[in-house]
Amino acid sequence: MIKLITFDLDNTLWDTDPVIIQAEQHLYDWLKKNCPALTNQYSKESMRQFKMGVANANPALKHKVSTLRLEAIKLNLLDVGYDDRAATLQAQQAFDIFHQARQQVSFFDHTLHVLDDLKKTYQLAALTNGNADVSVIGLDCYFDFSLSAELVGKQKPEPDMFLAALDHANVAAEEVIHIGDHPEHDIMGASQVGFHTIWVNFEAASWRDATPYLSPPTAEAHCLSEIPKLVARIDEGSYK
């Protein structure tokens, strides 16, 4: 019997790339107005490259996307001559601009209907490697709880977030379905813990062609509208 359904967020419930591009533009526009010394030396692309360098130099930040971006902005500011106090203050203000814009998502078709339908029967949880905030986005009315890599300390496909969800909901792995778009982060990670899985595959890609080395998901959805029926079939034991 299924008791909990966990959802990935980015690229499962909305398209993430346009959101990040727009948020980084808002960030850069704010910096251009408020910290011109930085934007005189760094383009958006060179800031991205700088952030990647900070990540490579600080493996402990790998699972902390918000902390990483905040630290990279601060180091950018220090690099162009700001003192530590000013860099800390301006970096936080700049990050807040980014983070607010990062929550301005456009849901895929059927997202809200599917969540509303499933919420009537199951506990729902959000499991994300990113820094989308369901309370700001307006999905907290559907999710009983949400977990992030920043909070847990490890990204999917590491087992930590999946195991934390089991503890939080007080359920067994076989009572959970995880739904996500990423073959490795979502499907492999959840499967290895013992969850049932639904692969959100909008492009109708071949699992075997794309990921020949991974065990297939329990079920596959080409449209979010298919998910309630797939969940029902898993719940009744139709997929073995």
Q: What is the mean pLDDT of residues 123-129?
A: 98
pLDDT tens track for 144-172: 999 999 999 999 999 999 999 999 999 99
Assigned domain for 240 exists: no
- Could you tell me which residue, 208 or 232, shows the higher pLDDT? 232
Looking at residue 176, its pLDDT comes to: 98
Quote the CA–CA distance of 32 and 175 in Å, as a whole number: 50
For 109: left if phi > 0, alpha if psi spans -120 to 50, otherwise beta; the answer is beta
Average confidence score pLDDT of the chain: 95
Q: What is the mean pLDDT of residues 204-214?
A: 80
pLDDT tens track for 56-111: 999 989 899 999 999 999 999 999 999 999 999 999 999 999 999 999 999 999 99
Looking at residue 80, its pLDDT comes to: 96
Q: Mark whether 91 and 170 lie in a shared domain.
A: no
Nearest 5°: phi and psi at 223?
-145, 145
Q: Mark whether 116 and 221 lie in a shared domain.
A: yes
Look at residues 214, 230, 228, 240 and name the one whose alpha carbon lies nearest to residue 157: 214
Looking at residue 118, its pLDDT comes to: 98
Looking at residue 10, its pLDDT comes to: 98
Assigned domain for 142 exists: yes
Angle between helices 84-102 and 16-34 (to 10 degrees): 150
Give the DSSP per-residue string, 15-37: -HHHHHHHHHHHHHHHHHHH-HH
Looking at residue 213, its pLDDT comes to: 76
Residue with tokens 């067994």: 172
Q: Mark whether 59 and 85 lie in a shared domain.
A: yes
Taken as a whole, the chain contains a residue count of 240
Looking at residue 62, its pLDDT comes to: 84
Q: Mark whether 85 and 180 lie in a shared domain.
A: no
Looking at residue 165, its pLDDT comes to: 98
Token pair in block for residue 191:
């499967």
Q: Is the pLDDT of residue 238 over 80?
A: no
The boundaries of the domain holding residue 117 are 4-14+107-235
Looking at residue 6, its pLDDT comes to: 98
Q: Mark whether 214 and 165 lie in a shared domain.
A: yes
Q: Mark whether 134 and 230 lie in a shared domain.
A: yes
3-state helix, strand, coil in the chain (%, to 5): 55, 10, 35
Token pair in block for residue 212:
């020949």
Q: Mark whether 125 and 225 lie in a shared domain.
A: yes
Quote the CA–CA distance of 133 and 116 in Å, as a whole number: 18
Angle between helices 44-57 and 65-79 (to 10 degrees): 110
Q: What is the mean pLDDT of residues 192-197?
A: 97
Q: What is the mean pLDDT of residues 169-197?
A: 97
Looking at residue 240, its pLDDT comes to: 58
Q: Mark whether 90 and 117 lie in a shared domain.
A: no
Q: What is the mean pLDDT of residues 133-140?
A: 96
Looking at residue 39, its pLDDT comes to: 97
Q: Is the pLDDT of residue 138 over 90?
A: yes
